[in-house]
Amino acid sequence: MRAMLLITAKDLRQRVRDRSLLLMAILVPFGLAAIFSLVFGDVEDQQAPTFVVADQDRGQIATTFTGQALAPLERRGVLRLKKAGTEQDARTLVERGEAAAAYVIPAGFTRDVLSGRPATLRVIGNVNARIGTFVARSVADAFAAEVRYVQVALAVKGGGSPQEAVAVAAPVTLENLAADRRQLSIGEYLSAGMAVFFLFFTVRFGFSSILDERRDGTLARLLAAPIPRVTIAFGKLLGGIVVGVVSMTVLVVAAWLLLDARWGHPVGVGLLVVAGVLAATGVMAMVATVATTAEQAGNVHGVVAVLLGVLGGVFIPIQQMSGALEVLSLLTPHRWFLEGLADLHGENAPMLATGPTLALLGFATVTTGIALTRLGRMLRT
Amino acid sequence: MLFFPAAQQTSHVTGTEILKCQHLRKTFGDLTAVDDVSFAIEPGQTYGLLGPNGAGKTTTISMITGILERDGGDVLISGRPHNTTSTWGKKQIGYVPQDLALYPDLSARENLRFFARLYGLPRAGIRPRIEEVLQVVGLAERAKDPVKAYSGGMKRRLNIGVGLLHGPPLLILDEPTAGVDPQSRNAILESVSALTGEGVAVLYTTHYMEEAERLCDRIGIIDLGRIRAEGTRRELVGLVGELDRVSLTTDGTRDVPELEALPEVRKTSVQEGHLEVMVQDARKALPRILAAATDAGVTVRAVEVHEPNLESVFLHLTGKALRD
């Protein structure tokens, strides 16, 4: 144990003096995550579009549209409302870019609806605000469909007031389950993705540094020293694990403090991080055993880390993968790590991401076991 | 002092063989790198393994140090069986590999501290011992500098210092002067001589004949994985039975038949301006050779004495030069 810790401490001292580790373990992944968050964060954080309403009707149906269709959306922050006295005022606001779209409710609109005559609700969109215009049209379409539903209900009843028709139960209703949906934000996903992607480059300095020792001639000295050979391997593995856990912890905390990431319960996140580091260490140790030189190991590690990262959903979200690739992604620790973080995310999330954590520990056990069985190949001068 | 005080030494057996190799054998695929190699070293003795590159010296050393599994034979350290897992045996050995085996990003002191702790030196004794070794290898002034900033000679000296650190009774030096300037080489050879004076047994591999002749009490000539001959320098030379050669530079070309009558002289030959005399013991016979030449009226302008050396022994045994 003492010799193992000595080797680990020596390796860490060497790594600390090697600035490339700091770059690879912390600065690059955090920098990329921050840049991506700035670039893509706008998708989530775009300001709510402003809609102008020019109500020239002021009747019951017009009031229903503004009060029951638009006002709730404004209260939920989906859109912002402005009022205009005339259609021209509304059009001017849209043309100036002060509003994404305008609703013009013409005089007689309520009367026409209640009497079953064709009625028109005009939507004026800004050509430069396509999404806002699309939202405005969608809201209007939904309201028109609702009006149509009321008219059909009246026809079926064969008379009655509109209020009675509205009281008829809707044939199909939707239940909003958004509060339970566990999904990382774009910023969180990118931060976690970059962290786990670069983790594979970070931990490779552990076990594969046996090849560095061989290249530098110091492996002969370690083998001649009065310590069990397996101590060398465990010392190296521990060095990689320590560096991995430290870098992941720094990245997780930095993303929380600086990128406003919400990761979930610290215990669950901590266990997931440790399991992820163990899995990454095992995979890279196993890969190192196929190499004969430090340079060869570096090349193979790079290829494996990128392949696993792409397949694991670091660059392309899993949801956008085809069926076969999605299944294959289950063979990557990245997929399980990101899935574990998603499980821990949200108001009603569990304290532990049990499944993903166990999957990562499984990766660690199998790959580290294979690496250790091939240890003799590594420990030769 | 290069060696640990007696109280801190690991059990240093005197009067018996500290290292005994019996019938060592190692193959790599079809290649037999070491074949039936046997020798022994006593405390205070320097044993040289002399052979060209690829002769099997480093492979033999790797088996002795426990770096490499052997395919056959035995290694005994102070009478105890030794292999790759023998921690006791490894503590008895100070190993100086042929290649520099140092951590370039660490300082000399950090390198020494790491190996001192790895060899289990008592914590309280580590610091003074490191300072002692730094003084011995002449790096006390640069102890804080990273090794990558050292010259080649400084690295070589530190490489040896690491091997000396734990005060081993057996020091194994694998071509320690390879690529070293003459001044550093001389310092290294003097250090090794001093160590044997303190009772350390030294196994020294080299392909420099002069080093083996200067340092080693006994020499094993190794080639193609086999010990071809073993003994003291005089024994090896005697084994070959070569004669000394006295080369006289003369004024003319004239034979001196009187030389043939001297008991030590075996053969003479005359060349333009030279008289070559093959003799049993040149140092003893030289005065009489010069007297005979002068008596015969030959003016001797210069004398060269060529004694058979290990180079010629190696040539005789293997049919090739040491540096081939």
Beta pairing class for B300-306 and B244-250: antiparallel
Taking an 8 Å cut-off on Cβ atoms, the answer to whether A217 and B114 are in contact is no
Q: What is the mean pLDDT of residues B31-39?
A: 92
Contact B254, B324 (CB under 8 A): no
More confident residue, B260 or A55: A55
Q: What value does the mean pLDDT of chain B take?
A: 85
Model pLDDT, residue B4: 39
Model pLDDT, residue B279: 86
Q: List the single residue in B with minimal CA-CA distance to A228.
A: B85
Q: In what order do the strands lie in the sheet with A50-55?
A: A80-83, A50-55, A101-105, A122-125
Question: Which position has the token pair 């779209």?
Answer: A101
Q: Does A217 touch chain B (CB under 8 A)?
A: yes
Model pLDDT, residue B220: 92
Q: Write the CA distances from A223 to A376, B99, B106, integer angstroms.
A: 12, 14, 20
Chain A residues whose CB is inside 8 A of the B118 CB are: 3, 6-7, 222, 225-227
Is pLDDT above 80 for B297?
yes
Chain B residues with CB within 8 Å of chain A CB: 62, 65-68, 84-85, 87-88, 90-91, 93, 95, 97, 99-106, 110, 114-115, 117-120, 162
Model pLDDT, residue B118: 93
Is pLDDT above 50 for B1?
no
Give residue-wise pLDDT tens across range B54-66: 889 999 999 999 9
Tell me the residue type at B130.
I
Q: Which stretches in chain A have pLDDT values below 70? A: 37-47, 153-183, 319, 347
Mutate to test the interface with A, among B28, B61, B118, B203 (most CBs of A within 10 A): B118
- Closest partner residue to B117 (CB to CB) among A6, A17, A220 is A6
Is pLDDT above 60 for B139?
yes
Give residue-wise pLDDT tens across range B152-169: 888 988 999 999 899 899
Chain A residues whose CB is inside 8 A of the B68 CB are: 380-381
More confident residue, B15 or A309: A309
Query: A225, exposed or middle or buried, with CB in 10 Å at 0-12, 13-18, 19+?
Result: buried
Q: List the single residue in A with minimal CA-CA distance to B172.
A: A224
Model pLDDT, residue B14: 43
Model pLDDT, residue B116: 94
Q: Which of A107-111, A312-316, B96-100, B221-225 has the lowest mean pLDDT?
A: A312-316
Which is it for the CA torsion A111, A112, A114, A120, positive or negative? negative
Strands (E) across A27-181 are located at: 50-55, 80-83, 101-105, 122-125
Model pLDDT, residue A181: 44
Q: Using CA atoms, how far apart are residues A358 and B228, in angstroms rounded to an integer?
A: 62
Q: Tell me the pLDDT band of B256, cut-offs 50, 70 and 90.
A: confident
Longest CA pairwise span in chain B (Å) = 76
Q: Does A227 touch chain B (CB under 8 A)?
A: yes
Q: What are the two backbone dihedrals, phi and then psi, of residue B129, each rounded to the nearest 5 degrees?
A: -65, -40
Model pLDDT, residue A274: 95
Q: List the single residue in B with minimal CA-CA distance to A223.
A: B67
Tell me the residue type at A68.
Q
- Closest partner residue to B66 (CB to CB) among A10, A13, A224 is A224
DSSP secondary structure code for residue A172 in this structure: S
Chain A residues whose CB is inside 8 A of the B152 CB are: none
In this prediction, the answer to ipTM > 0.95 reads no
Q: Using CA atoms, how far apart are residues B194 and A360, in angstroms rounded to an integer?
A: 58
Strands (E) across A17-173 are located at: 50-55, 80-83, 101-105, 122-125
